Chains A and B, each alone.
Chain A
Amino acid sequence: MNTDGKTYKKYAAARAKKSPLLKNCAMAFVSGGAICAAGHGLRRLFTYAGLSDDNAGMLTSSALILIAVLLTGFGVFDSIAKHTGAGTLVPITGFANAVASSAIDSRTEGLVPGVGAKIFTVAGPVLVWGISAGAAYGIAYYLVCAAAKGGVS
């Protein structure tokens, strides 16, 4: 099989066993949905306890982050996530895991060159491009609103 690189790459890609897409999607749908439902339950609970809507929402996010970080610390999160995939990655739990796992991994290099420098190794791109996209959206929204009102004030 004396093939050039392009042909070989195609051959290798064609014969490679694919990830079970349907199963992964179903698992992500169920687990992601369950996390969001649990989050909603917590929010209702906090509202029932007398918190304002804003505070209940913030506390719900914090609770999910806390749970994800604890599960990461106890070495359980990755065992769950290998089955749930995007279901645990997409909600705030995935972000919490990305930050916590980086911090745990780099603690042997100390607080500054280790944890401090490496904590956002995985989550950093989400922060940079997430915040940038947010800012860009904000500016665009401002300009569109201003134009609708007949000029920038």
Chain B
Amino acid sequence: MTGLPIRLEKSVYIASSASAAGKNEKEGPLGDSFDLTSDDDRFGQDTWEKSESEMQRIALDAALGKAGFDPSSLDAVFAGDLLNQCVASNYGLLSFGIPFFGLYGACSTAAEGLILASLLCGAGAKRCAAVTSSHFCSAERQFRFPLEYGGQRTPTAQWTVTAAGAFVLTDDREDVRCDASVKAIPRIAAVMPGIVTDRGIDDLSNMGAAMAPAAADTLTRYFSAGADPGEFDLIVTGDLGREGSAILCDLIASTGRDIRRNHVDCGLLIYDCDGTDRHAGGSGCGCSAAVMASNILSNVRAGVLKRVLFVGTGALMSPLTVNQKGTIPGIAHLCDITGEVTK
């Protein structure tokens, strides 16, 4: 039967994670938790696309450094971004010389990469990585308007996050560096790929509403397979924003379950949204990647969070099909992450 959770028979651990972020993100509530930030969002590069690539390079380099792994020891890297042909990933990870898989899952790419990397680790590979990024300046010019264009955004619009996150996975627990501060090692216990869901939303400025049904579908399938929402310290979506988060809670409530107590959204965690240009919150596949790689997984390692359900949500929107009066399909991939207590 299709659409069931995939439980990993072999344990796969997130050995390390790292993030890079821009100025607005640095000024946000999680600003101190990112490994490296750039005050001009350029990361020393002369084009926005190269800046995004550089963020990916920095994030993976930092993650490999934390894990103490040499790039040549990795079996594969799964990477994605929002740009055509995944150029930020292709160029950004070129220098590592790691076997490469390019992904596109819009904002769900971080979860998609984690799923595929963990499955490959469980299927015989020893070490894999997942890297994801988005950059406000490169994404806006591809999907919406020129950066300096003077327009007004609607309250449901989300702000593309400038950030990258990298995760390094291993199938060997002894491989994972543990200092005294590490109380638990994040282990990917189960994954569940999303199903493309289209409920007729065609408003480019309301991505949350386009993604929420996909997130509800994935979560409902996961809960129906035996998990209870109350088992999780956090159910982390990324990035439904304010609008999509409220819709998701409504949709889940209509199935008789309640996630309001433990649900958070990366798009709302990364910015202080009230009274700013961020409106309904952050979006872009770098958002959930950076929030998971920094804040959430740090809390799992510190033993604060014992079990986290990460649901990456993507609006599979193309400006071309929207102009052709098309609707915006959504997708949501799920990773069940458990903190395995260190000895």
Residues of A in contact with B (beta carbons under 8 Å apart): 1-3, 5-6, 8-9, 12-13, 15-19, 24, 72-73, 75, 77-78, 80-82, 85, 88-89, 94, 97-98, 100-102, 104-106, 108, 121-122
**Per a CB cutoff under 8 Å, which of A2, A12, A106 touches B206?**
A12
Instruction: Other than A9-B201, A17-B156, A94-B150, give 17 A-B pairs with Cβ distance below 8 A.
Output: A5-B200, A6-B200, A8-B213, A12-B209, A16-B155, A17-B155, A72-B148, A72-B150, A80-B150, A81-B151, A82-B152, A82-B153, A89-B150, A100-B148, A101-B150, A105-B146, A108-B46
A contact residues around B277 at 8 Å (CB)? 82
B contact residues around A12 at 8 Å (CB)? 201, 206, 209, 247
B contact residues around A104 at 8 Å (CB)? 146-148
B contact residues around A5 at 8 Å (CB)? 198-200, 327
Does B224 count as interface, using CB distance less than 8 angstroms? no
Contact (Cβ within 8 A) A122 B145: yes
How many contacting A-B pairs (Cβ < 8 A)?
95
Contact (Cβ within 8 A) A8 B200: yes
Contact (Cβ within 8 A) A97 B148: yes
For the complex of A and B, 6 pairs with smallest distance between CB atoms: A81-B150, A5-B200, A1-B254, A105-B146, A12-B209, A101-B148
CA distance A43 to B48 in the complex (A): 41
B contact residues around A72 at 8 Å (CB)? 148, 150
Please list 26 pairs of residues, one from A and one from B, whose beta carbons are closer than 8 Å in the complex, sorted by A's number: A1-B251, A1-B254, A3-B199, A5-B199, A6-B200, A8-B199, A8-B201, A9-B199, A17-B156, A24-B152, A78-B151, A81-B150, A82-B151, A82-B152, A82-B277, A85-B152, A97-B150, A98-B149, A101-B146, A102-B146, A104-B148, A105-B146, A106-B146, A108-B46, A108-B47, A108-B48
User: Nearest Cβ in chain B — how far from A93, in angstroms?
Assistant: 8
B contact residues around A75 at 8 Å (CB)? 148
Does B154 count as interface, using CB distance less than 8 angstroms? yes
Contact with A along B195-213 (1 / 0, CB 8 A): 0001111110010010001
Majority SS at the chain B contact face: loop
CA distance A72 to B149 in the complex (A): 8
CA distance A101 to B147 in the complex (A): 7
Q: Which residue of B lies closest to A98 (CB)?
A: B149
Contact (Cβ within 8 A) A16 B243: yes
Contact (Cβ within 8 A) A122 B146: yes
Q: For chain B, residues 239 to 292, give those with C-beta under 8 angstroms from any C-beta of chain A.
A: 243, 246-247, 250-251, 254, 277
- How many residues of B are in contact with the other chain, CB < 8 A? 33
A contact residues around B198 at 8 Å (CB)? 5
User: Nearest Cβ in chain A — how far from B44, in angstroms?
Assistant: 15
Contact with A along B145-189 (1 / 0, CB 8 A): 111111111111000000000000000000000000000000000
CA distance A131 to B46 in the complex (A): 37
A contact residues around B141 at 8 Å (CB)? 105-106
Contact (Cβ within 8 A) A15 B247: yes
Contact (Cβ within 8 A) B155 A19: yes
Q: Which residue of A lies closest to B149 (CB)?
A: A101
CA distance A121 to B203 in the complex (A): 21
Q: Which residue of B lies closest to A73 (CB)?
A: B148
CA distance A89 to B277 in the complex (A): 19
CA distance A89 to B145 in the complex (A): 14
Q: Which residue of B lies closest to A107 (CB)?
A: B47
User: Nearest Cβ in chain A — how far from B215, in angstroms?
Assistant: 13
Q: Which residue of A lies closest to B255 (CB)?
A: A1
User: Nearest Cβ in chain B — how far from A17, in angstroms?
Assistant: 4
